[in-house]
Structure 1
Amino acid sequence: MQIRSPSLVELNAFLAVARAGSFRRAAQDLHVTQAAVSRAVLRLEQELGQDVLQRTSSGVVLTPAGTQLRKLVEKPVAALHAAASRMRKTPERLRLRLSVITSLGTLWLMPRLEAFRLLHPEVEIEFRQYHHDEDFTRDDVDVWIEVPRSAMHRWPRHIAAQYLIGREIVAVCTPELARNLNTPQLVLAQPLLYHSNFPDNWILWAQARGAAMPVHRKGTGFDLGMNLIEAARSGMGVAIVQQCLAEADLASGRLVMPVAGSASTGRGYFVCRRRAQDAHPAADLFAQWLAQRASMQPIG
């Protein structure tokens, strides 16, 4: 029987580029050369008889055919990886040591972690203490989930960082407070709750809505995103938060967006690993699973 389907190597290369937005970052994620990724995608396009990726000056984007292909193959390829992982004999449990920024770990990762455990029961996860000013020199951590301090932040040369989630920020508050806040300017007149490390997030939101910041704004700053969410839940004011942190509250109706629309900070959360790290199957499984979960719909 003649096999006419693309190989897993080609599909994995295509999906990695689709997720990363560039051949270079995809090669880093797959731990192969950029040339190898390019050749695999070229073979895929030749097999299909059409382009699936469009190269631009700012990166790589999916063509309509590429978008359709990703929808068709992403879940089956992930299922094949999961099946192989389950069937592969392992002499001992795989240990993964994580350091995760506190609010994302509590509000976004924890509700999903049981799904990873069920999919990969052979992986034993150990959480390590999160360090606010991480320099990535610790030897007790295999994978970090960290946020850059600015949109122009540069990661250390020995660290490979892959964007995960969290660039989008939204304004949220209780349904009661939102009843009379139907314009951006009315929102900005309320007590404005913000993350003390990123006080300019409200300015970004106001600019995206075409609104002007009050000359003398009132509000409160918090050093943890989950405390900022809790303050919004208690009715202290309107909070500007990363949408991924508020997804459960928005889905339940506990919090609402008084004015629709988001703004981008250019930062977000990144999965960070040492470039020189030895082969680490548990870290590979977890990083792949994280990317898949981040691309899915929020938990309802």
Structure 2
Amino acid sequence: MKFESASLVEMHAFLAVCRTGSMRRAAEQLCVTQAAVSRAVSRLEAHLGHALFDRHAQGVLPNARALDLRQRVEGPVEALERAFGELKQPARERRRSLRLCAVPTLGMRWLMPRLGTFQLQHPGIDIQLLQSRRDEDFRREDVDVWIELKRPGVAWPRDISARYLIGRDITPFCQPNIARRLRTPANLLRETLLYHTNYPANWLMWFGAAGVESSRLKLGDGFDLAGNLIAAAVAGMGVAVIQPCLVERELNAGELVRPFPLEVSTGRGYHVCVRKGKRDSGLPGLFVDWIRREACRS
């Protein structure tokens, strides 16, 4: 049997936007991020095959199709919520918590904009985002799931199950005005090449894959934090080679562009890690499955 209905996550987001006339106010009402509401509405529109809102500077206005959909589904959705609320009433005080530890840069730039979607889908789960530790040894008892960068030559502990998530590949990014003067990858040798001080060989790796003879390679400014490296590229200080997943906001805003499509694997990347035996059960398994789906979509 083929199901034609949209998900409840999408319906709640749609109805909240109808009620408030704003993605931002809908997000506040649902206690999620504005981006999560926007993505849910976009998925619903793609599912139906047509737009539901007219976007303008003051907010969003439901069109005729949206008004018709709201009239049809608002009552049934509210009835479902009441039914499940009554059935789950005794368990409401037993909210579950998931303790998550993520590498700061990926956590702020890639994970945080998506956590609202997880909360929409699993409103009974509280996320505790804990501070990441340098040289994590996975012995902490206060963490259920880690998101860690694989370190070269360092094996994962035997009792840890690690699955690749995102961020293995690197490619150059720069301001649009810099990209306009780049005709071939070799042209990059004339630019200031910004780099992460922990991985100074990234440029050599990328030039090698691009077939560019790089004996004349001279690196520019170095940064020990990826966030500072990205900020330098946005400021026009040069061209940075970095993982695409870390610059989604800058790409969407047009602050950075990708001058060449070539992506090169570093063999590292971010991995989602849990203790063996927890991977496929309970909250850790639920979160791992969700975040890997998000990475695939990304």
1:135 to 134, 137, 149: 137
CA offsets 1:210-229 (integer angstroms, 9 cap, x no match): 01224350312222222211
Pairwise mapping of residues 1-300 of structure 1 onto structure 2 (< 5 A)?
Answer: 89=88, 90=91, 92-150=94-152, 152-215=153-216, 217-277=218-278, 281-296=282-297, 298=298
Q: Answer yes or no: is the 8 Å Cα contact 1:171–1:257 preserved in 2.
A: yes
Question: Which blocks of at least 5 consecutive residues in structure 2 are unaligned?
Answer: 2-83
Q: Which runs of 4+ in 1 moved over 3 A?
A: 86-91, 276-280
CA offsets 1:249-299 (integer angstroms, 9 cap, x no match): 223321011222111111110001111559862222211110110111x4x
Cα distance in structure 1, aligned partners of 2:195 and 2:118: 32
Letter of the aligned partner of 1:99 in structure 2? C
CA offsets 1:227-255 (integer angstroms, 9 cap, x no match): 21111101111000001112232233210
Rate the CA distance shift 1:166–1:213 in 2: closer, same or farther, 3 A: same
CA RMSD in angstroms comes to: 2.3
Cα distance in structure 1, aligned partners of 2:95 and 2:232: 41
Q: Answer yes or no: is the 8 Å Cα contact 2:279–2:288 preserved in 1.
A: no
Rate the CA distance shift 1:167–1:216 in 2: closer, same or farther, 3 A: closer
Q: Answer yes or no: is the 8 Å Cα contact 1:171–1:240 preserved in 2.
A: yes
* Greater radius of gyration (CA): 2
Question: Which blocks of at least 5 consecutive residues in structure 1 are unaligned?
Answer: 4-85
Give the secondary-structure state (helix, strand or coil) at the position aligned to 1:295.
helix
Cα distance in structure 2, aligned partners of 1:188 and 1:135: 39
CA offsets 1:138-178 (integer angstroms, 9 cap, x no match): 1111110001112x431011111011111111100000111
Q: Answer yes or no: is the 8 Å Cα contact 1:169–1:264 preserved in 2.
A: yes
Cα distance in structure 1, aligned partners of 2:157 and 2:133: 16
Cα distance in structure 2, aligned partners of 1:217 and 1:188: 8
Aligned length: 213
Cα distance in structure 2, aligned partners of 1:209 and 1:274: 39
Identity percentage over the alignment? 47
Q: Normalization by structure 1: what TM-score?
A: 0.66
